[in-house]
Structure 1
Amino acid sequence: MKFLKRLFKIGQAEVHSAIDGIEDPIKMTEQGIRDMKQDLDKSLEALAQVKAMSIRSKNEVEEYGAKSEDYNEKAMLILKKAQSGGMESQEADRLATEALIKKEEAFAGQNRAIADKEKFDQNVLQMEGNVQTIKQNISKWENELKILRSRVKVADATKTLNKQMAQLDSNGTVALLERMKEKVAQEEALAEAYGEIANNSKSVDDEIDKAINIKQTKATSELEKLKEQLGISDSNSQN
């Protein structure tokens, strides 16, 4: 029976959230809390009913007690009336006897009501204890659920981080960096090689032009020619 109830509870949890092959602790705890709250509602309802029966038994005790005293008082009044001559003695004895019989019936009813009340009171105490236990369990499991949810979040975050760390290929990263450095060195060497080729590809004219400043030489020659045309000599310019 417990096995079937367990299967039924698993089925309920699966309705609230799909479970991937195994029982999800959080979903099972949530389902357990829902079950306990349902039990609490039923226990509170039953407790109210038992308390109502206890109150009814208490009222019956009082009612039967009042009837017992009333019949006893009536029997006494009947006997007193017969004693004073207001009623025949035989009739008074009969009615007084009937009253005392009613008194005993009421007394018996009172004792029965007392026994019922004691039984109901014991049930009330027991059920109140059960209700208190269920409330404590609900509070306990709700706190456990909060902690469990927090632990799951931390565990998931840690798992994700560790998984990412585990998937890092440090050797591959170093190899990539080495390849990049090699590529940069190769590009730098290639640029230098192109520079050397460019220098080697200069013509003889370029080398001659580089050896002498053609522009400066031409400008100096033109300056000399212009001075000659103007009759300016270096001595005049110095004076």
Structure 2
Amino acid sequence: MMNIFKRLLKIGQAEIHALVDKMEDPITLTEEGIRDMKTQLADAMEAYAKVRATAIRFENRAAAKADGGARWTEKARAALQKVQEGALDPVKAEKLATEALLLKKRDLDDAHELRLEGVHHASKADEIHTQIEILKFNISKWEKELTTLKAKQKVNQAALFANQHMAHIDTNSTLDMLQRMKTKVAEDGALAEAYAEIAQEQTNAPQQERIAQQQAVQQELQALKQQMGLE
């Protein structure tokens, strides 16, 4: 029975060697993963810059509209003052003042809408920034993991070489082939566990930070509305 097994193993040895060679190297896979995350980080930072710039433009436009509203108030007041001075007909002055106040309301309404858009884009920018921080954390973690994997690989290779030398096992022998398969399978298992940990960390991204950011945005919005007399 043992002789039959040996013959079958000998016949399939070439196929098994080919399978081992095709198995993905955990270190190569980790390096590719880090490169992918760095690409995602660059894209996220570009998106953050664009969304934040849009938020700033909305904020600036809202401020400009609010300033325009204040100017229309001054124009309405000036028209009414001319009546007191006897320099303008009351009916005409009231008409001018009414038109100025209507334009003021239009500008303030526009400013309010622009502020809301600015707050919305600022919130989106904060969300992207949170993802950027997560990516930075994951990249740092995986770069450390890569260093660990490379160190483990060197240790494994040194141990394997020493065992082969002591046992006088040729590198193409069946025992060497099985050891290579065992090492690769163990490394792949560890890598899979590590990826599962990162997936869990991304799912459990710090909710408290997001809540705090949302509360800060709401408080700022509330303050703006109070300053504008909207509440």
TM-score class, shorter: 0.5 to 0.7
The amino acid that maps onto 1:103 is K
Give the equivalent residue in structure 2 for 1:204.
Answer: none
Secondary structure of 1:23 counterpart: coil
1:83 is the counterpart of 2:60: no
- State the distance in 1 between where 2:145 and 2:70 align: 59
Aligned twin of 1:74: 75
Q: Secondary structure at the match of 2:22?
A: coil
Alignment partner of 1:102: what SS?
A: helix
The answer to whether the aligner puts 1:132 opposite 2:133 as a matched pair is: yes
Looking at structure 2, the residues matched to 39 and 83 of structure 1 have their Cα atoms a distance apart, in angstroms, of: 67
Q: Secondary structure at the match of 1:87?
A: coil
Q: Deviations over 1:86-138 (max 9, x none)?
A: 11222222221211111011101111121112112212221111111111111
Q: How does 1:154-173 map to 2 (within 5 A)?
A: 154-167=155-168
- Match of residue 56 from structure 2: 55
Query: Offset of 1:164 from its aligned partner?
Result: 2.2
**Residue number in structure 2 paired with 1:105:** 106
Q: CA RMSD in A?
A: 1.5
Pairs within 5 Å for 1:189-204: none
Which ranges of 4 or more aligned residues in structure 1 deviate by more than 4 Å? none
Deviation at 1:83, TM superposition (A): 3.1
Instruction: Using the TM superposition, give the Cα deviation of residue 45 of structure 1 relative to its aligned residue in structure 2, in angstroms.
Output: 0.7
Q: What is the aligned length? A: 150
Aligned residue identity for 1:144: E
- The higher relative CO (CA closer than 8 Å, separation ≥ 6) is in 2
Q: Secondary structure at the match of 1:20?
A: helix
Structure 1 residue aligned with 2:24:
23
Q: Give TM-score, length-normalised by structure 1.
A: 0.60
Pick the structure with greater CA Rg. Answer: 1
Q: In the aligned structure 2, how far is the partner of 1:66 from the partner of 1:121?
A: 22
- Measured after TM superposition, the shift of residue 27 of structure 1 is 0.7
Structure 1 unmatched runs, 5+: 1-18, 169-239
- Counterparts of 2:92 and 2:62 in 1: how far apart (Å)? 31
The residue that corresponds to 2:97 in the other structure is 96
With 85-94 and 68-77 compared, the bigger mean Cα shift is at 85-94
Query: What is the CA distance between 1:79 and its match in structure 2?
Result: 1.5
SS in 1 for 2:122: helix
- In structure 2, the gaps of 5 or more residues are 1-19, 170-231
CA–CA separation in structure 1 for the residues paired with 2:21 and 2:65 = 65
User: Which residue identity is paired with 2:55?
Assistant: S
* Pair 1:45 & 2:49 matched: no
What percent identity do the matched residue pairs reach? Answer: 35
SS of the aligned residue for 2:21 comes to coil
- In 2: Cα distance, 1:51 partner to 1:20 partner: 48
Letter in 2 for 1:67: G
**3-state SS of paired residue (1:66):** helix
Match of 2:145 in 1: 144
The CA distance in 2 between the partners of 1:96 and 1:117, in whole Å, is 31
Q: CA deviation at 1:20?
A: 2.8
